[in-house]
Amino acid sequence: MPRTPRVLVLDVNETLSDLSGMAERFVAVGAPPGLAALWFAGVLRDGFALTAAGAHARFGDLARDNLSDLLRGEHLNVSHEDAVETLVAGFGELDLHPDVGDGLRALAALGVRLVTLTNGSAAVTERLLTRSGTRSLVEQVLSVEDAPRWKPAPESYAYALRTCGVEPDDAMLVAAHPWDVDGAGRAGMRTAWVNRTGRAYPSAFRSSEVTVDSLSELARRLTEPSA
Amino acid sequence: MPRTPRVLVLDVNETLSDLSGMAERFVAVGAPPGLAALWFAGVLRDGFALTAAGAHARFGDLARDNLSDLLRGEHLNVSHEDAVETLVAGFGELDLHPDVGDGLRALAALGVRLVTLTNGSAAVTERLLTRSGTRSLVEQVLSVEDAPRWKPAPESYAYALRTCGVEPDDAMLVAAHPWDVDGAGRAGMRTAWVNRTGRAYPSAFRSSEVTVDSLSELARRLTEPSA
């Protein structure tokens, strides 16, 4: 580890929040729990498609449309409309991964500035951090809603860097998603991949400078003496 | 319908090929059939992410990496490696949707030029069309492998139009995917959405000029007198 970055730019969905909590919410409305992963993949697919085409979308609109389509033909316990509303609301009420609270405290204790940058809404991030008692550790809650483009377009990272007043190599993007690590790397940022499940890093993406299994491990790695 | 386009640019995966044939292949190796949809959504998500970040990827690499990750932890009938190879090979051996053979013949009979444009490989399209006896109806089999970017980036459609020697409004993109319809529309092309399942068109995407339930219906619509 060469030197501690001035700013850590933390992704939110799946990096901080634990999407596995959606499975039981799908079951509760009578839908297959496996649809949660398909839902999230479809939302990102559509958001990235619009970004590639030069457009901008609202995460919430894509979430609602994809979910509505996925629930078509399912035998639900509630009306189709109620299921969509319940599950979209549930997405805004997820918990942090177990390592995140202690991890954020350890990172903050290093004196590094912490900001979040999500393709979702800033309001969902605000609630997530506030509910878990970690909001005060984070200097700024940023969303691509205020950027020209979604992540992983370079304009999204540039927006966060500009807002923080730092150069790309003073900031490290921290994400559970290889596409986010890749995009931030192409935008000149340093990168950390949070790999909680021991999966292999996909070959098509630029790899991270650091790979950790938790935010706590990231805090430890950032305090190691230089090699 | 104002006038018959000079060229129809046909998407391939799901527009011509029937991906529902993957479900039984997943079952055959002992994997949940529902993983097929998650696989394809993940491949597109990753390809679009790289496109949004300004990069280019090979469909086959993304297909292999995503599948390998999805099959992790599944109790398969065969080795993990064999399952990946079997399913990737199976993706290249799908059938056409039942309406496509007659639909392509009816479209060709109108005198309109037919080309395909896929984010996958041209070789897979060649095999798909050859196996089904429809290759002779298609003037050119194009792939983003030869374009600067994947669909739905504007450069992908521009590549197809340049190769065909036509202006955007002389060509109509025909696709089952709203993201493809949207991207082609933003690139100035006319568009047809093939909606075989009666789903709602997602609100975040630009809508199509024509919506049909099959390629045969498209051929009928293109011969209707102008309104």
Last residue of a domain, one of A61, A91, A121: A91
Q: Which residue of B has its CA nearest to A37?
A: B38
B72 interfacial to chain A (CB closer than 8 Å): yes
B177 and B133 assigned to the same domain: yes
Domain-located, residue B227:
no
Domain-located, residue B1:
no
Q: Answer whether B50 sits within 8 Å of A200, measured CB to CB.
A: no
In whole angstroms, give the CA distance from residue B171 to residue B138. 15
Token digits of residue A66 = 């994809």
Domain-located, residue A157:
yes
Indicate whether this complex's ipTM tops 0.90.
Answer: yes
A86 and A190 assigned to the same domain: no
- Domain CATH code at residue B157: 3.40.50.1000
Q: Hey, which residues 153-182 in chain A have their CB within 8 Å of chain B?
A: 153-154, 178-179, 182
Q: Nearest-CA distance from B173 to chain A in Å?
A: 15
A182 and A101 assigned to the same domain: yes
Run of H or E residues at B222: helix B215-222
Q: Between B46, B69, B178, which is nearest A204 by CB? A: B46
Last residue of a domain, one of A91, A123, A149: A91
In whole angstroms, give the CA distance from residue A15 to residue A218. 13
Predicted pLDDT of residue A227: 43
Q: Between A34, A42, A53, which is nearest B186 by CB? A: A53
Q: Which residues does B197 contact at the CB level (< 8 Å), separation at least 6? A: none
* Residue A162 φ/ψ region, left for φ over 0, alpha for ψ in the -120 to 50 degree band, beta for the rest: alpha
Q: Nearest-CA distance from B226 to chain A in Å?
A: 31
Q: How many CA atoms lie within 13 A of B196 on its CB side?
A: 18
Q: What is chain A's pLDDT, residue by residue, as a tens digit (227 residues)?
A: 568 999 999 999 999 999 999 999 999 999 999 899 999 999 999 999 999 999 998 999 999 999 999 999 899 999 999 999 999 999 999 999 999 999 999 999 999 999 999 999 999 999 999 999 999 999 999 999 999 999 999 999 999 999 999 999 999 999 999 999 999 999 999 999 999 999 999 999 999 999 999 999 999 999 986 54
pTM over 0.80: yes
In whole angstroms, give the CA distance from residue A157 to residue A175. 13
Cis peptide before B225 (omega within 30 of 0): no
Domain-located, residue A1:
no
A55 and A152 assigned to the same domain: no
Domain-located, residue A147:
yes
Q: Identify the CA nearest to B126 among candidates B151, B134, B174, B109.
A: B134
Last residue of a domain, one of B91, B119, B152: B91
Q: Contact A117/A10 with Cβ under 8 angstroms? A: yes
Q: Which residue of A has its CA nearest to B156?
A: A53
A123 and A212 assigned to the same domain: yes
A131 and A118 assigned to the same domain: yes
DSSP tag of B121:
-
Q: Identify the CA nearest to B35 among candidates A16, A43, A22, A32.
A: A32
- Note down the domain range covering B73: 21-91
Farthest CA pair distance, chain B: 59
pLDDT tens-digit readout, B183-201: 999 999 999 999 999 999 9
Q: Which residue of A has its CA nearest to B60?
A: A204
Q: Which residue of A has its CA nearest to B66?
A: A202
- Domain CATH code at residue B68: 1.10.150.240
